[in-house]
A and B are shown apart, each in its own frame.
Chain A
Amino acid sequence: MAVFLNHHQRREGAEPLLAVNSLYKRFPSPRGGGELTVLAGVELTVYRGEFLSIIGRSGCGKTTLLRCIAGFEKPSRGSLLIEGREITGPGIDRMMVFQETDQLFLWLTVLGNVEFALQAAGVPRRERRARAVHYLEMVGLERFLEYYPHQLSGGMKQRVAIARALSVAPRMLLMDEPFAALDAMTRNVLQQELLRLWQETKITIIFVTHNIQEAIIQSDRILVLRPLLPANGANTPCGAADNGSQRPLSSIAALIENTLPRPRRPDMPGFGAIWRQLNLLIGHDGEARTEPEDEAEAVAESAAEPAGAIVLDGKAT
């Protein structure tokens, strides 16, 4: 299934779908008194049909950004626009797929879960079943329609969640580490399936992950977030100078264009270069990081062909 897309061309003609304008998000500090700035100065345009991944260290605000887009969190400053309209709350045009495997309604069958979403979306009763079955077939669950969630494996549950989210025909799919709780093999299979679904439905996907390799294999662009807080937990006031420079501190470390041809494999030329670039941008913080398989090979080949274009913060749009 070699689908080659030239993303530069695609983006030139591409239509902006979501705009994040100087977004700041602060939470009341749990220690009482004061606020904790989690996101600062986030500028981002997401184009229709693109696959954008968000990576960054744990706690740097990936989930928070996604939840702002989903409408579950209100921005402290700045605005989010979808198709030019301000996002004021959750909506069926932005469907979230959570990491938690408890996102399915336990009292409904697999089919029931999808049909329920369609009912909420106002799809007439007559059409619901066929449409639900269609989306469940897409994720390969047509033989499990009458199963209850507790009878499914973790990977199957995530598939149902994806089918349910897609069934209501949202503008975009927001996925918060949806495969993080799964074993490596299931994760690979689901990655491939997600890519196939993305290409079939041409839906816009924003995908949060910890996994650099997953981000490279899947996405057109990769947004790297960085933590605003020093490791000791003290708050950095938003807008404070960064290492003496006059530039206001921004959560965006970089936005990387990933032009590797699809389908991507960790041992293809150029993969290692992007991988190392991202690894550097995320920064080493003692977390164990695994190099891609065949790293040595990738290094040898990548030197000649840098495939990632880096855009530093501020000019991310």
Chain B
Amino acid sequence: MRLINEARTRLALMARSWGQNLLRTHLARQVAWLMAVAAGWEALARASVYPPILFPRLSDVLATLVTEMRTGEILARTGWSLGTICTGVALAVAISIAAAGIALGIRPLRPLVDALLNVLHPLPGIAVLPIFLLWFGTGAPAVLAVVVFSCIWPMVQNLLAGLEAVPRTQIEVGRNLGLRRARLILFVLIPASLPYALAGLRLAWARGWQTAVAGEMVFGAGGGDGGLGWFIYKRRFFLEIPAVFAGMLMIIIIGILVEHVVFGTLERLTVRRWGMSRAE
């Protein structure tokens, strides 16, 4: 009996300290605050302060998200958006590498790349959508084009900054070992500038994702198929507000997954492992 009691107290102590540890971590505190906000949302919605049609309960939103996932539409829309953004980012990366290579390899063209960067970087992708709709036709190609447009500039900027920030010593070690041109770039410059390239990729993804969703809303009014932006737009049209929120939740979920799982893992396996990034 005494033993059981002792074990119980110890377990309780452990649970308490575990709980305290969890509370002490920053992540846990964020989660706690989110839960509080969610509870507030639910309470506010239940109190019917605002018309339910405009301000649905969180529980309804979650239920809609689950049924949407079951019936399949939201997943198909998500897949469409992901396809657009992945293709867009991949194209943008290829173009950016070429642009950075030209800027650094052909000296007279460096000012051109810098000028384009300075002029076009501040222009949001969505602002060029109308003209891209004329050039590339309504539908997927125009959205893809704006996604590429908005991803290129942060990517080029970071690639250039990264290549320029490679310590002279490292380049000279490479040259001392007899590395020239392609091998120097491949084995020294690229790995040494990887932290910048990854930061650029992160930025490109974030901008591309925003642009994709926004672009789908603008052009989606006319189309049949479409991505998450189109999904949200369409559901709003039919005043299915919980589904609108479900679409937004989906965007948030994808964002968090990519940010922490994809990029987090990528960085943990590379720059963080090599002590090249100061983060955490």
Q: How far apart are the CA atoms of A106 and B274 in the complex, in Å?
A: 6
Which chain A residue lies CB-closest to B173? A103
Which chain A residue lies CB-closest to B179? A120
A121 lies within 8 A of chain B by Cβ: yes
B163 lies within 8 A of chain A by Cβ: no
A92 lies within 8 A of chain B by Cβ: yes
Q: Is the interface of A mostly helix, strand, loop or mixed?
A: loop
CB distance from A160 to the nearest CB of B (A): 12
Which chain A residue lies CB-closest to B188? A105
Contact among B178, B191, B270 for A105, CB-based, below 8 A: B191
Could you say which of B176, B194, B276 has the most chain A C-beta atoms within 10 Å of its C-beta?
B176
Q: Is the interface of B mostly helix, strand, loop or mixed?
A: helix
A238 lies within 8 A of chain B by Cβ: no
CB-CB under 8 A from A92, the residues of chain B are 176-178
CB-CB under 8 A from B50, the residues of chain A are none
Q: Do A121 and B177 form a contact, CB below 8 Å, given A100-B167, A150-B275?
A: yes
Q: How far apart are the CA atoms of A98 and B178 in the complex, in Å?
A: 17
Q: Do A102 and B275 form a contact, CB below 8 Å, given A70-B176, A116-B187, A120-B177?
A: no
CB-CB under 8 A from B187, the residues of chain A are 116, 120
CB-CB under 8 A from A154, the residues of chain B are none
CB-CB under 8 A from A107, the residues of chain B are 191-192, 194, 270, 274, 276
Are B177 and A150 in contact (CB-based, < 8 A)? no
CB-CB under 8 A from A89, the residues of chain B are 175
A95 lies within 8 A of chain B by Cβ: yes
Are B175 and A90 in contact (CB-based, < 8 A)? yes
CB distance from B186 to the nearest CB of A (A): 12
B170 lies within 8 A of chain A by Cβ: yes
CB distance from B195 to the nearest CB of A (A): 10
Are B274 and A90 in contact (CB-based, < 8 A)? no
Q: How far apart are the CA atoms of A92 and B174 in the complex, in Å?
A: 10
Query: Closest 4 interchain pairs by CB?
Result: A150-B275, A120-B177, A107-B191, A90-B175
26 A-B Cβ contacts within 8 A?
A: A70-B176, A72-B172, A72-B175, A90-B172, A91-B176, A96-B173, A96-B176, A98-B172, A100-B167, A100-B169, A102-B167, A102-B169, A103-B173, A106-B275, A106-B276, A107-B194, A107-B270, A116-B177, A117-B177, A120-B179, A121-B177, A148-B274, A148-B275, A149-B275, A150-B274, A168-B177
14 additional A-B residue pairs with CB within 8 Å, beyond A72-B175, A92-B178, A107-B276: A70-B176, A89-B175, A91-B176, A96-B172, A96-B173, A98-B172, A100-B169, A102-B170, A103-B170, A106-B276, A107-B192, A107-B194, A120-B179, A120-B183
Q: List residues of chain A with CB under 8 Å of any chain B CB.
A: 70, 72, 89-92, 94-96, 98, 100, 102-103, 105-107, 116-117, 120-121, 148-151, 168
